Each structure stands twice: as C-alpha cells, then as structure tokens.
Amino acid sequence: MQDRRIIFYRIGAIGDIIHTLPTIKFAKLSNPNAQIEIIVGSKQISDLLNSACDFIDKIWLISHEGPFNKIFSKNFSEEERALAESLKTNPADEFIYLHSNKLKAFVLNFKFFHSKKLKIYSRDESLSAVANFATCYQSSLKTELIKNPYEVLDYRVLKIKHIYSEQKYICIVPGVGNLRPHRAYPLSKWMNLIDKLVTTTDYYIKVLGGPDEANIAKEIDRFIDSKNYSGSATQAKRVENFIGKTSLLQLAKILSQTDHVYSADTGTLHIASALGLNTSAVFSITSEKRFGPFSPKATIYRSDLCSCAKSFSNYKKNCTNLINGYSACMWNLEFDMPSKDCPKSESLRIR
C-alpha cells in the first residue's frame, strides 16, 4: 500500500526532464511505498516516461504554460482539473518544484498541492544539473554526489522494450534544434564520419533528430543519395535518415538497440545516456560539466581552442568566433571509431 504522495514538477524539453530522472528514481528507491508522480508539459515526453520509467507511478500532462498562469481564468484542461480534484482529497506529502521561481512554487502549493513539505530548486553552479536537482530533493547528497555521483544516483533511468534486430548499427545525431545553434558540429564533418563508418566498419547507420531539423534532414538525404552504400538493389540501406520521422518513444526504441551513439549536445544524447549506451559527444558553448550526459559511458570531445572550456555554466547562447556558421573550435575535432572500452566522462577528451 502506498503511504505517501511525492510530486515532482518540471516543465521543459526532454534533456531537462532526463536530468531530473535520477533524482526521481532515487526518491522511489528511498520510499518504495510512496506514490511517485511527475508533472510534465509534453505528450511525447509523457508517452516516453510512461513506457520507460517503472519507478514513476503517475505522470500528469499539463499545458506548457501550466496551472499558475490559469489560476484566475480557470481555463484548465481535463487533465489539470483531474489533478486539482485529486489534490483536494489527497494532498501531496512532498511537492518538489524543479524550477527556481519561488513565487510560482508558493502560489501553486497554496492553491493546488497543499503540501506541508515544499522544496524549490535553487541553482548551484558547483554541481552538474543532475546533481543540482538531486540536492534540491535531498541537500545532504551534495558531498557524495561530488565524490561518487554514479554510486549515489543511477544513470540508467530509461528501460525500453524492443524487438530484437540482428543488424548492427550506430546512431548519428547531428542536429541541436533551434535553441543555441552554435552547439552544432559542422554538418560536413558528420557526413565524413558517416562515410568513414560505412567504409571502414560493418555497421549500419541510423541518423536521428527532431522535427525542427528539416534543413539538416534534406542535406543528409542529398548526401545519402549521392553515395552508393547499399552495393546492390537487394541489400538493406547502410544509412537511413530518421530525422523528424519519429516520436520520442520511437526514437528511444531505435537508440536502445545501437552499439554506439555519436551526438551533438542535444536531448537525444541524454536519452542515449539514460539508456546506458556508449556515447561520444561534442561540446562548445555549453558546459559538459554542467549539462553533459550523466553517464560513465560518455566520452566528451571539446577543442583546446574553445574559449568556453574553463567555464562551468557557459551562459552565452551564441559564439562570436565562427567559421562557416559553426563555432571555430568545432572544426579541429575528430571522433574516434567506436570501441567497447569507452572512457569515463570525467576524463574529458580535448582535441
């Protein structure tokens, strides 16, 4: 019987949500009889968590602007009304608001959650985002998270049921969406990597990305069409482009069967890490220390020419040192070929 109700509130993109999941899993392991719930603002994220997170008992989907902005209009969705009604009869024992706006947190708790224990996220720049969320839930974890993060929190927070495939493949994630475009690795270098993998290994390649990366998808299609990777009309395509063609859950299912993931700093990278996959990722204007994949199976590539390398937070959204539209530091980075012996993420690979 579930004896407590613990509700986490985090509205954001998939990478932001993934960063909260180790904390939520920790809460369930620490309180096995508690009802663990999370409030998210995206149906695709809700579908993924429902399928892949057995430590979450209930996922509430609310509109992105959330109930705070509807308090006076009362224009709630059916799901929001159901949440409000459930809280009237069964208030949250703990309400963990994983945003930094204290006013919203207090008003939401007063109006809806009625929890005697309200916890509000506060940015701590000495910690990774994952550790920061965890210390919001339990502040005493800070020291251990700095010393032994993977012993305190489980990074494998997504489990996907999939159909077995005999095909060995690698996933390439070239896009970064529309936010902070200077996180991107040059598209021509992604194409060179694909060509190298096809010509020097027996792997098949699956290229992944979101619906807001249509321009990249077109360029990848042109590149694939210009090559004759299949070798014959009957042989399966060595390179397939799935950019913008999958839901988050479908994307996670494709990732779950891959041997290795090469990615820019984007949400798909964090899904791959949460699945426990070997990953190789490039970073420029964002900090791998703060926002990088939370996994000992991640290899981080950052140029020694990068002016952001010494920063833990990397606030700026755009790089001022560009070459052909990309951060100049990205041009001298080259990925290694896939290996089962993936260095830990703490051993940053500078090129």
The two tokens of residue 260 are: 């290795």
Whose CA is closest to 283, among 351, 201, 204, 198? 351
Domain 4-152 and domain 169-350 have a common topology? yes
Burial of residue 107, with CB atoms counted within 10 A of its CB: 0-12 exposed, 13-18 middle, 19 or more buried = middle
Task: Tell me the pLDDT band of 350, cut-offs 50, 70 and 90.
Answer: very low
Q: Which CATH architecture has domain 169-350?
A: 3-Layer(aba) Sandwich (3.40)
Q: Express each pLDDT in 111-162 by its tens digit.
A: 889 999 999 999 998 899 999 999 999 999 999 998 999 999 999 999 998 7
Q: Tokens 């249509």 belong to which residue?
A: 214
Question: In the predicted model, is pLDDT for residue 326 greater than 50?
Answer: yes
pLDDT value of residue 126: 87
User: What's 4-152's CATH class?
Assistant: alpha beta
253/255 Cα distance (integer angstroms): 5
Domain ranges for the chain: 4-152, 169-350
Q: Tokens 């833990």 belong to which residue?
A: 312
Q: What does 219-231 look like in DSSP terms, one character per residue?
A: HHHHHHHH---S-
Q: Express each pLDDT in 64-119 by its tens digit.
A: 666 656 665 667 788 888 998 999 999 999 999 999 999 999 989 998 899 999 99
Name the CA dihedral angle for 231, 234, 238, 239, rounded to a multiple of 10 degrees: 110
pLDDT value of residue 313: 66
Q: Express each pLDDT in 162-219 by its tens digit.
A: 766 778 999 999 999 887 888 999 999 999 999 999 999 999 999 999 999 999 999 9
Mean pLDDT of 5-25: 96
What pTM, to 2 d.p., does this model score?
Answer: 0.92
Task: Tell me the pLDDT band of 317, cut-offs 50, 70 and 90.
Answer: confident
Mean pLDDT of the chain: 89
